[in-house]
Structure 1
């Protein structure tokens, strides 16, 4: 019930979570008492880890909650920009379900539509995103899908909005080498050459560049060509 209905676990199916647990058991990462061999916490070694020299995993609930808060702030900031810019149809589909594979539907007309996957950050020095397998597979089949990168300021508003090249995303994700295993999430450091200032999809733009904040970040150049 938790995996089926809680939004934090909607990225994978219950069967995928069960297979993940089974794999952890097969590889010895989970004990017979269903306890992790690797301590997930603040980095301090437990007695069991000290004896077995198993390195800790640096992770905390606070950091995960902060990452989710930044993501939500980025989506909200982009929604405000689209609505202030007069985009006639704006729908926050991520608030309904993670099944879409993108966060925002926006349309200027019947022929000018976009499905926006929003990746937010507060780091102006580099753009690092986490792309799920589901988001990637939607990208490969949906010509209206595009990835919008949002730099969120201290006030919660967008400091910069840019578009990440679909072609680069396709070249950067891992490649499954065997049918027995597949990647489910990828951490990608996006180079400046794969980022275009503004909010573009295909050959048209959702908003005029003058309406989009464009503080120089991530090594962007104002005259960078539009990657497709």
Structure 2
């Protein structure tokens, strides 16, 4: 890892870091030191490299953070597999108009457009995982704001199997999402991404918007994971 003097030179001269002034970067370092997150030797007490413990200093109040390029690539592969699996289910299930908008742009705030008629349309945000014991998702501010104004938006949770297929599909309740995201405390700061652990009562088996069910429950794979609540009978 580069020392603080080398990093300071990088922040001062590299155009990619010109969004903040050197004084702002220096204040950031001072804050990290005040919070006890940088050792006297100038090394982080939080492990963000590859699980190796830097200079071996980890305090009980600062959890170790494991990150690696391989883990990030694996996460992206799982996300892509979930999207592709759901696209296949929608097309095989007879939904006539299915479009993978995430392949075009991240600006939509959802991953898939699906429509059966003019009045039956869905904008599906897909969150994928390989963990059958709990559902943890990351929701961006943009996705949340699209959800808040788009009645056709829904969030599909996909459990991805070892072969990349969908083992389970469930819909996350939007009311719960509204209640779970952080609240901005000041105009000077706002949340941009939230990590949410979805409870069983906020999950309904199948795939549906507030007004229509995209596919029959019998068509979608369903296994006993995340202890989802029974599907609502009001959705057709």
2-structure distance, mates of 1:215, 1:55: 34
Give the C-alpha shift of residue 27 in structure 1.
2.0
Conserved? CA contact 2:139–2:194, under 8 Å: yes
2:160 aligned residue (134, 140, 152): 152
Question: Do the aligned partners of residues 120 and 52 (structure 1) sit closer, same or farther apart at CA in structure 2, a change above 3 Å counting?
Answer: closer
Equivalent residue number for residue 77 of structure 1: 85
CA contact (8 A) 2:201 2:229 kept: no
Q: What are the residue-to-residue correspondences of 1:10-89 with 2, within 5 Å?
A: 18=19, 25-28=26-29, 29=32, 37=44, 40-47=48-55, 50=57, 57-89=65-97
Offset, 1:97 = 0.5
Instruction: Indicate the RMSD between aligned Cα atoms, in angstroms.
Output: 3.0
SS for the counterpart of 2:137 is strand
**Shift in Å at residue 129 of structure 1?**
0.4
Q: Which residue of 1 aligns with 2:119?
A: 111
What is the CA-CA distance between 1:188 and the residue it aligns to? 0.4
Partner Cα distance (2:150, 2:129) in 1: 25
Residues in 1 aligned to 2:196 and 2:116: alpha-carbon distance in whole angstroms: 30
Task: Give the count of matched residue pairs.
Answer: 208
Cα distance, 1:44 vs structure 2: 2.4
- Larger RCO, structure (CA 8 Å, separation 6 or more): 1
Distance 1:111 1:51 in 2: 56
CA distance in 2, matches of 1:225, 1:165: 15
| Runs of 4+ off more than 4 Å | 21-25, 35-39, 49-56, 223-227
The alignment partner of 2:156 has SS state of: strand
Kept in 2: contact 1:91–1:106 (CA 8 A):
yes
Match of 1:142 in 2: 150
Q: Please, which runs of 5 or more residues in structure 2 have no aligned partner? A: 1-15
Structure 1, unmatched stretches of 5+, are 1-14
